[in-house]
Structure 1
Amino acid sequence: MEKKNLVIVGGGSTYTLGIIMSLIEEKETLPLRKLTFYDTDHARQEKIAKATEVILREKYPELEEFKYTTDMETAFTDIDVAFLQIRTGGLKMREQDEQIPLRHGILGQETCGPGGMAYGMRSIPDMIELIKDIRTYSEDAWIMNYTNPAAIVAEALKREFPEDRRVLNICDMPIAIMKSYADMLDKDVWDLVPGYFGLNHFGWFTKIEDKLGQDYTEVIKDKIVNEGFIPTDSEIANDASWQATFATARKMLMDFPEYLPNTYLQYYFYPEDMARKEDPDNTRARQVIGGRQKRVHETCDKITGSQSLEGVELTGDIHGAYMIRAAASLIHHLNHIYIVMVKNDGIISNIPEDAMVEVPAMLTKDGPKPFAVGEIPAFYKGLIENQYAYEKLVVDAYYEQSYMKMLQALTLNRTVTDVNMAKAVLDDLIEANRGYWPELK
């Protein structure tokens, strides 16, 4: 299999080491000649990159070239695929996204509700410029975007690059959920075939089969209800917040047993409960800073200091493996099926044509070939149309610099709904995001 060149944009991310280990574990799936990190924060990236040099020397000696850079031309020239994982404003602004809504008594979360809206407004301009920069140097590279909030980002990219068929928006949450399904069935997650529909972080599994057509949907439902539901992917399995999230997914299934829910639906179904559980002085961002970030940086320092992996345990995770396998299917025309975001165009026949939906698709050298879903029941149709209207209005507000459309978006969002509350939160978010958001009128 021909070796390819990959750039990881956001090389300083705390998720990068997991991707590196997944690249090593999946080297037969997507063999590489060159790997490049690109980040605008040199110091943050260098810490990850210096450790990566040691890891690659020990675990991936056949890789011909590894480098890290803050120079776009160096990063984006002669690449076959780009993984995009940026966070405009960093964890400092994520904490604002979470704290400001919580001060008003409503949900503070990085991709859902007002926090997700704020993050989306910061992400849009950087994502647009980033893709333009990549296209300046590599016209035909596959661009795989998993920058959050993916639904809002995907809506903006659809408008900005309507003819670019090599930009794919993708999220790892469905496969992380499927990993737990697979483990409860004692199956390999890659042997499961999902039925799924929705928007990003707002969808449902309709069916889980194996590749021989054996349907396990009702078995999974029964096990979740009677035995509980836990995260099993290595990145989240021991995280108390994720454990609570999967426990709430069990409640969602019991309340609405028709389909298996995406875990993120908890924020929209039980927003008051979710808000009450959060502590503005110990937000998820603060937990990441003191948890995963601290752990990853200490690991990097240990590896770099000893120039060895001795005594260090590192593994790949489902997040990295998913991106790698999806990229390989696109590049090598493997026709494997993954859940990705695509323009609806009748896939879900009774919601807007222009919505960016999240559905199973066969990934080919010509791009994703999504499978038709057909009509969905009224309850799910109503939820999706409301959520899509919110996402669309956020992107409208960005392009039109419209305060009114931002207010309309927040009023529609199921985590807010109250106009007075929407105004108060929006005004605080505008103040906190000066210099990141366009000036709203």
Structure 2
Amino acid sequence: MKKFSILIAGGGSTFTPGIVLMLLDNLYKFPIRKIKFYDNDKERQDVIAKACEILLKEKAPEIEFLATVDPEEAFTDVDFVMAHIRVGKYAMRELDEKIPLKHGVVGQETCGPGGIAYGMRSIGGILEIAGYMEKYSPDAWMLNYSNPAAIVAEATRKLIPNTKILNICDMPIGIEGHMAQIAGLESRKDMIVKYYGLNHFGWWSSITDKAGNDLMPKIKAHVKKYGYDTKVEDENQHTDPTWSDTFRKARDIYEIDPTTLPNTYLKYYLFPDYVVEHSDKNYTRANEVMDGREKHVFGECRKIYKAGKSEGSTLEIDEHASYIVDLARAISYNTQERMLLIVENNGAIENFDKTAMVEIPCLVGSNGPTALTIGTIPEFQKGLMGQQVSVEKLVVEAWAEKSYQKLWQAISLSKTVPSVKVAKEILDDLIKENTEYWPKLK
């Protein structure tokens, strides 16, 4: 059986150890000969890499390991690039959240002006990585789960349409874990879902078990009372207080359309006033992460390196990330697995923009994804999605054309922003902080 060479782009990420442990846990179905890390921050990557090298020696010494900041060394001889980069790291995420909040607007890393700012930084980074992959391993596939996935996906569609990139997000997977528990199932994989929308902006229209039994009534009854709030085993990523509130708030989002079940992120667009009111302008989600996961992961990695062994470590397998193996297997073995991916609409949603990057179920095989037909969607969802797609398209156009005007339009069009005036004030503040990362706008 062929063994694969994997490159993790964003080797210094706090998610990298969990992903490595997940890959090791799945070697029986996705064998690996080589794991490489690539990052442009050597110091940060080294801490993670030294610990991961020990983990690999203990659990799978036959796997070759390399951590590098050299693109040629990193991208040569790889089958899959698993990309989770954060341009500007958490320091810039903190500004993405705090600048809009200063103006009384939602401050969130992927939604509203913060997501737009992050998108403007991410586009260049993803295009650079895609360019290295095409140059050094032209047959490789990039599995991209870098945020903000919607803007990044639109950028890859528009600017590098022939590159082998699959854009995917773990948020629906996380919510489906909660749904499975509500429905009394062992795993989300015991469900067959119909879902449509954009990344961080969608709805489940049907959920059945493998026998075809309708699970929607049971899940809806729970959501109506509690949202998606329930204790899920191995749920390490989304347990901070802000996440608990996000899962609970789904009950209010549900009320506007009880025929569907909503993605939790819709709270930022449908309840922006509530979100701002319940936000701490001085201590945002970025601060939670820096004081929580960031300190924990880097602290654990340093301990492993110092001890020379992982015994007693509290680093955990990122179960959430197992969809990455499913995706790589689907391509490698033509499994035709059904997965939610962000793909060009191209008629899958009949009454929606053909060029929009939508998040819908696809069958994935050796040639990539084949989108499943959704049919027509209701006017309410279509209207919301149309507005948000225009935001994403304008951001990519603003980046490509270095257009201040188009970025101002994008922020003004976001449902989280109350007026063109406020949009301009936020944009001008964001420009000051992003000079190192954004194209110079004119």
TM-score by length of 1: 0.97
User: By how many angstroms is 1:227 displaced?
Assistant: 5.1
Counterpart pick for 1:179 among 177, 192, 200: 177
Partner in structure 2 of residue 265 of structure 1:
266
Task: Map 1:67-106; keep pairs closer than 5 Å.
Answer: 67-106=66-105
User: 1:234: how far off?
Assistant: 2.1
Between the aligned partners of 1:222 and 1:236, the Cα distance in structure 2 is 26
- Equivalent residues of 2:167, 2:341 under 8 A apart: yes
Partner-residue secondary structure (3-state), 2:408: helix
Identity of paired residues, percent?
A: 45
**What's 2:15 paired with?**
15
Q: Could you say which residue in structure 2 is the equivalent of 1:376?
A: 377
The 1-side partners of 2:22 and 2:208 are apart by 25
Summarize deviations over 1:346-367 as a string: whole Å, max 9, x none: 0111111100010000110011
Q: Which residue does the alignment assign to 2:119? A: 120
How far residue 340 of structure 1 moved from its aligned partner, in angstroms, is 0.3
Q: Secondary structure at the match of 1:36?
A: strand
3-state SS of 1:196 partner = strand
Q: What is the distance in 2 between the residues matched to 1:237 and 1:211?
A: 27
Instruction: After TM superposition, list the pairs within 5 Å mapping 1:103-252 onto structure 2.
Output: 103-164=102-163, 166-184=164-182, 185-226=184-225, 228-230=227-229, 232=232, 233-252=234-253
* Cα distance in structure 1, aligned partners of 2:137 and 2:214: 43
Matched-pair contact (CA < 8 Å) for 2:227–2:249: no
Equivalent pair of 1:397/1:406 in contact (CA under 8 Å) = yes
Q: CA deviation at 1:229?
A: 2.3
- Per the TM alignment, residue 405 of structure 1 is displaced from its structure 2 partner at its CA by 1.1
Distance in 1 separating the partners of 2:227 and 2:267? 16
State how far apart, in whole Å, the 2-side matches of 1:84 and 1:305 are: 28
Q: Is the 8 A contact 1:410 1:417 kept in 2?
A: no
Q: How far does residue 440 in structure 1 lie from its aligned partner after superposition?
A: 1.6
**Deviation, structure 1 residue 163:** 2.1
Q: Secondary structure at the match of 1:369?
A: strand
Query: Partners in 1 of 2:171 and 2:10 — Cα distance?
Result: 19
Deviates more, 1:246-255 or 1:128-137: 246-255
Cα pair 1:81 1:141 within 8 Å, conserved: yes
Per-residue deviation, residues 267-286 of structure 1 (Å, max 9, x unmatched): 00101111121122111111
2:325 & 2:131 partners in 1: Cα distance? Answer: 23
Q: Deviations over 1:279-312 (max 9, x none)?
A: 2211111111111000101111121121222222
Q: Distance in 1 between matches of 2:74 and 2:175?
A: 33
Shift of residue 228, structure 1, vs aligned partner: 4.8
Q: Which deviates more, 235-244 or 322-331? A: 235-244
Aligned to 2:29: 29
Output the amino acid matched with 1:370: A
- CA distance in 2 between counterparts of 1:2 and 1:219 reads 43
Partner AA of 2:366 in structure 1: K
Cα distance in 2 for partners of 1:155, 1:290 equals 32
State the alpha-carbon separation in 1 of the partners of residues 249 and 313 from structure 2. 34
Unaligned runs of 5+ in 1: none
Letter in 1 for 2:5: N
2:316 is aligned to 315
Give the Cα separation in 1 of the matches to 2:265 and 2:204: 13
The answer as to whether partners of 2:49 and 2:67 remain within 8 angstroms in 1 is yes
On the 8 A contact 1:35/1:66 being kept in 2, the answer is yes
Structure 1 residues 133, 237: CA separation in 2 closer, same or farther (over 3 Å shift)? closer
Deviation at 1:58, TM superposition (A): 2.0
Whole-Å separation in 2 of the counterparts to 1:322 and 1:316: 13
Inter-CA distance 209–380: structure 2 relative to 1 (3 Å threshold): same
Q: Are 1:113 and 1:413, in contact at CA under 8 Å, matched by a contact in 2? A: yes
Deviation of 1:263 after TM superposition, in Å, equals 0.9
Equivalent residue runs for 1:404-423 within 5 Å: 404-423=405-424
**2:175 and 2:228 in contact (8 A); partners too:** no
Provide the C-alpha distance between the structure 2 equivalents of 1:282 and 1:179, rounded to a whole number of angstroms: 29
**Corresponding residue SS for 2:314:** coil
Moved more, 362-371 or 245-254: 245-254
TM-score (norm 2): 0.96
> Do the aligned partners of 1:172 and 1:318 also contact (CA within 8 Å) in 2?
no
1:384 is aligned with what amino acid? M
Q: Over aligned residue pairs, what C-alpha RMSD do you find?
A: 1.4
**Native 8 Å contact 2:334 2:366 kept in 1:** yes
Residue 59 of structure 1 deviates from its aligned partner by 2.2
Change in Cα spacing, 1:387 to 1:430, as seen in structure 2 (3 Å) is: same
Q: Which stretch of the first structure deviates more once superposed, 129-138 or 300-309? A: 300-309
* Mean Cα deviation higher: 209-218 or 114-123: 209-218
CA–CA separation in structure 2 for the residues paired with 1:397 and 1:314:
40
- Other structure's SS at 2:342 match: strand
C-alpha contact (below 8 Å) 2:24/2:59 kept by paired residues: yes
Q: Is the 8 A contact 1:194 1:207 kept in 2?
A: yes
Write out per-residue CA displacement over residues 331-380 of structure 1, whole angstroms, 9 at most, x where no aligned residue: 11111111001101001111111000100001100110110001101000
User: Corresponding residue for 1:329?
Assistant: 330
State the distance in 1 between where 2:302 and 2:252 align: 41
Cα deviation, 1:145-186, whole Å, max 9, x if unaligned, reads 11111111111111122123x211111111111111112223
Count, aligned residues:
439
Deviations 1:117-148 (A, max 9, x none): 11111111121111011110000101011111
